[in-house]
């Protein structure tokens, strides 16, 4: 608490936080109080996240995909995994059945998640009930976000209050597996310059898998005030409770000697765990405060403080080896893992617009401070039987014994950064910037003889971008950016004696591309990229509790995206990505969860003012479940999934919606955690939604 108070006092005395340009709302938009970006339908026109200034996406020299609220609703998306399935260049991981985990440009992460540009790195499943849009930024972004962000980041933009009118919305849905949810969204003006917004949700969880179930509920009150004189303030509190079965899917099975294993088929619904023992629960309290203002003409200030308290555990029994045959046996393993985390993070940004003749500058100065305290334990399980007999499945019992890990760690980071967006007339823009990070971790490992650990890293991360605009609706760009990841990993729970002596991993991204606003409501993008990772480590495919050093990896690829309206009644969003990742100097070693080809496209066509239809397709080529270091590394087969929807507007206040996932009932494997924890995709299923607005 003392650290929190000291940091708060220090930051109040300095220029403020993360979204400075968001205070620069147009006079006609004054009732919005807090501005979070502009979008129409499936197309977003700008982003504060990518540069921490309100910048048109056309002028950002890196790949960005924005999933708007309208598209989230049309596709009935409930999770980050649902969203990213339709974003080529991202691969959804299983996350051991207890968290969001993704791969961006060949880099796997559980921590590169942000909320309104503020770090949100705890391992849990993030909901979308209070989210206005989801932004996926590709390539290293250390200048804006600091450590991590190695292949990119995912930023959720929160719904904010508005003083323009009272609005009440409610949503209820049920699917054919028996899962159902309800949500409410109430925006209430308090006065002409203040408003209150309340979002809340309850979900009863179910799917096609045996023994799966659970519930999640959350509530998020948010109040915002226009203080006058260009000053605005907001205060948000969110409570989340998530309790569900931990399901780590099916194992692999051998094919032929010297050939990759494949996922075990014929057991799509079979649970490889212990019913009643596999469970994860999270309780989170997240408090966010922000203050935006204008210190002078063309000088904007913004500050955000975020405090989060997270208490989570997961207990799981899982397949720990390949099946010995189609009706053979599968080895099991188990452990219990509780973690508590308290995050205090403060960002402060100052944005200065300066014109020097024909040259305009948007200069950003930023400071960031964070203190993150973590306590983690692990207890290995003892099973009454260490194998599961597929010919006659009898689930064992499990008890969790003495502590195998007991650590406490404290991370403190201080960052300072500067960026200049320079426009040389109407046709040439340059983005340059540097960030300094000081990252310190200290902690203690209490198992056996207590062992203190610690390390301090100081890194400077550059960013350079050149944008050429031959005409106002076209940009051609090139960019160079770097990021780093300390040896404590993306959750910084411990450091081994060996890791303490190793320099951070480094990520360098080179990208060239083009963006074309074909019309104001239709955008096309193209990017070619190369991402190099040095000092690389990865989870050991043969022992997932340890890591191995692999040297330098390289991912190369090309990405094409489209978003907007093909016709006035036809909206589309999607794209194609080709990626290839390997260990440099050893082409046999391929990066895991990196399909070479990904294609996703979602369309909505309104047949008249009441009736609309949607159609989507997702394709992924085959991919390795983990980094391929052995000939038998499991390969997930390619799949193509088709989704559809029907929309009916019964009245101005009532909308009905039917979404069908996996319309052609494709058998496929959706994601994986390693060689033997592989999630079977869901069979054809439907979700019926009722949406009320007043």
d(CA 124, CA 97): 10
Assign 33 a pLDDT band (cuts: 50, 70, 90): low
Which one, of 156, 185, 184, 177, lies nearest residue 83 by Cα?
156
Is the per-residue pLDDT at 142 higher than 90?
Answer: no
118-122, 141-145, 245-249: the lowest-pLDDT one = 141-145
Confidence grade of residue 600 (pLDDT, cut at 50, 70, 90):
very high
Q: What is the mean pLDDT of residues 526-532?
A: 96
Write the DSSP string, 634-676. Answer: -EEPPEEEEEEEEEEE-SSSEEEEEEEESTT----EEEEEETT
Confidence class of residue 1 from pLDDT cuts 50, 70 and 90?
very low
pLDDT digits (tens, 9 = 90+) for 364-384: 999 999 999 999 999 999 999
pLDDT at 129 over 70: yes
- Sequence ranges of the domains in the chain: 2-693
Q: Mean pLDDT in the chain?
A: 91
For residues 24 and 366, give the distance between their C-alpha atoms in angstroms, rounded to a whole number: 17
Q: Three-state DSSP class for 631?
A: coil
Q: Do 103 and 398 meet the contact criterion of CB atoms below 8 Å apart?
A: no
Q: What is the 3-state secondary structure (H, E, C) of 570-609?
A: EEEEEEEEEEEEEECCEEEEECCCCCCEEEEEEEEEECCC
**Using 50, 70 and 90 to split pLDDT, how confident is the model at 512?**
very high
pLDDT at 547: 56
User: What span, in angstroms and rounded, lies between the C-alpha atoms of 659 and 174?
Assistant: 10
Q: How far apart are CA 352 and CA 331, in angstroms?
A: 61
Q: Which helix (H) or strand (E) holds 11?
A: helix 2-12
Q: pLDDT-based confidence at 29, cuts 50/70/90?
A: very low
Q: Which residues pair with 112 in a beta bridge?
A: none
Strand intervals (E) in 357-473: 359-383, 387-389, 398-424, 428-445, 451-471
Report the alpha-carbon distance of residue 638 to residue 621 in Å, rounded: 4
Is residue 234 predicted with pLDDT exceeding 70? yes
- Fold observed for domain 2-693: Maltoporin; Chain A (2.40.170)
Q: How confident is the model over 540-549, as a mean pLDDT?
A: 53
Measured CA to CA in angstroms, residue 337 lies from 215, 244, 345, 407, 627 at distances of 20, 15, 25, 12, 25
pLDDT at 540: 53
Q: What integer is the mean pLDDT of 157-166?
A: 94
For the segment 270-296, the average pLDDT, to the nearest whole number, is 97
pLDDT at 148: 84
Tokens of 332: 């099991």
pLDDT average, residue stretch 235-248 = 98
Residue 283 is predicted with a pLDDT of 98
Residue with tokens 């760009």: 477
According to DSSP, the β-strands at 152-158 and 113-115 are parallel
Model pLDDT for residues 392-447, shown as the tens digit of each residue: 999 999 999 999 999 999 999 999 999 999 999 999 999 999 999 999 999 999 99
For residue 3, pLDDT over 60 is answered with no
CA atoms in the 13 A half-sphere facing the CB of 574: 19
Q: What residues contact 633, with CB distance under 8 A and at least 6 apart?
A: 260, 261, 541, 592, 624, 625, 626, 627, 675
User: Quick one: which of 269, 303, 252 has its CA closest to 16?
Assistant: 303
The pLDDT value recorded for residue 491 is 85
**pLDDT by residue (tens digit) across 636-690?**
999 999 999 999 999 999 999 999 999 999 999 999 999 999 999 999 999 999 9
User: Can you give the pLDDT at residue 360?
Assistant: 96
Q: Which residues pair with 171 in a beta bridge?
A: 183, 691
pTM strictly above 0.85:
yes
**Residue (of 347, 342, 349, 280) closest to 310 by Cα position:** 342
């Amino acid at each position: 608490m003392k650290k929190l108070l000291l940091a708060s006092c220090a930051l109040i005395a300095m220029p403020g936080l993360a979204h400075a340009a968001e205070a620069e709302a147009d006079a006609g938009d004054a009732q919005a109080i807090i501005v979070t970006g502009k979008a129409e339908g499936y197309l977003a026109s700008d982003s504060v996240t990518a540069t921490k200034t309100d910048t048109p996406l056309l002028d950002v020299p890196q790949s960005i995909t924005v999933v708007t609220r309208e598209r989230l609703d049309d596709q009935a998306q409930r999770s980050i995994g649902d969203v990213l399935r339709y974003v080529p260049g991202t691969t959804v991981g299983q996350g051991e059945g207890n968290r969001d985990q993704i791969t961006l440009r060949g880099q796997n992460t559980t921590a590169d998640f942000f909320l309104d540009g503020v770090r949100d790195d705890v391992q849990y499943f993030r909901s979308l009930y209070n989210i206005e849009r989801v932004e996926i930024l590709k390539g290293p972004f250390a200048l804006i976000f600091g450590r991590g962000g190695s292949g990119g980041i995912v930023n959720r933009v929160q719904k904010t209050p508005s003083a323009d009118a009272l609005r009440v919305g409610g949503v209820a849905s049920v699917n054919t597996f028996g899962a159902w949810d309800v949500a409410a969204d109430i925006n209430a003006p308090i006065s002409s310059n203040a408003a209150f917004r309340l979002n809340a949700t309850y979900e009863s969880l179910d799917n096609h898998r045996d023994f799966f179930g659970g519930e999640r509920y959350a509530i998020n009150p948010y109040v915002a005030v226009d203080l006058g004189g260009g000053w605005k303030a907001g205060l948000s509190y969110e409570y989340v409770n998530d309790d569900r079965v931990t399901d780590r899917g099916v194992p692999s099975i051998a094919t032929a000697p010297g050939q990759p294993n494949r996922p075990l088929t014929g057991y799509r619904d079979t649970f490889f765990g212990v019913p009643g023992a596999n469970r994860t629960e999270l309780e989170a309290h997240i408090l966010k405060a922000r203050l935006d203002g204008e210190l002078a003409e063309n000088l904007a200030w913004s500050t955000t403080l975020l405090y989060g308290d997270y208490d989570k555990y997961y207990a799981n029994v899982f397949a720990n080896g390949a099946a010995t045959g189609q009706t053979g046996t599968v080895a099991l393993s188990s452990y219990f893992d509780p973690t508590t985390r308290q995050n205090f993070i403060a960002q402060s940004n100052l944005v200065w617009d300066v014109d020097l003749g024909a040259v305009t500058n948007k200069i950003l100065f930023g400071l960031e401070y964070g203190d993150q305290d973590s306590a983690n334990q692990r207890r290995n399980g003892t099973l009454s039987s260490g194998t599961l007999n597929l010919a006659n499945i009898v689930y064992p019992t499990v008890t969790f014994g003495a502590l195998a890990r007991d650590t406490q760690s404290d991370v403190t980071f201080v960052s300072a950064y500067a960026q200049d967006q320079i426009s040389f007339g109407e046709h040439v823009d340059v983005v340059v910037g540097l960030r300094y990070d000081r990252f310190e971790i200290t902690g203690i490992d209490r198992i056996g003889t207590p062992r203190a650990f610690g390390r301090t890293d100081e890194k400077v991360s550059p960013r350079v971008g050149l944008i050429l605009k031959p005409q106002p609706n076209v940009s051609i760009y090139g960019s160079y950016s770097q990021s780093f990841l300390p040896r404590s990993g993306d959750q910084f729970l411990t450091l081994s004696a060996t890791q303490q002596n190793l320099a951070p991993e480094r990520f360098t991204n080179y990208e060239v591309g083009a963006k074309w606003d074909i019309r104001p409501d239709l955008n096309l993008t193209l990017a070619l990229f190369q991402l190099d990772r040095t000092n690389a480590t990865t989870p050991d495919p043969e022992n997932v509790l340890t890591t191995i050093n692999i040297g330098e990896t390289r991912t190369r690829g090309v990405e094409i995206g489209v978003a907007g309206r093909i016709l006035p009644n036809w909206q589309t969003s999607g794209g194609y990505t080709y990626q290839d990742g390997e260990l440099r100097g050893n082409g046999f070693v391929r990066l895991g969860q990196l399909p070479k080809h990904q294609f996703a496209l979602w369309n909505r066509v309104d047949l008249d003012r009441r009736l609309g239809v949607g159609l989507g397709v997702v394709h992924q080529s085959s991919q390795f479940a983990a980094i391929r270091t052995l000939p038998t590394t499991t390969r997930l087969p390619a799949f193509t999934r088709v989704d559809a929807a029907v929309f009916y507007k019964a009245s101005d206040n009532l909308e009905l919606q039917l979404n069908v996932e996996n319309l052609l009932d494709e058998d496929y494997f959706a994601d994986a955690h390693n060689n033997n924890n592989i999630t079977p995709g869901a069979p054809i299923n439907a979700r019926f939604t009722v949406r009320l607005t007043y």
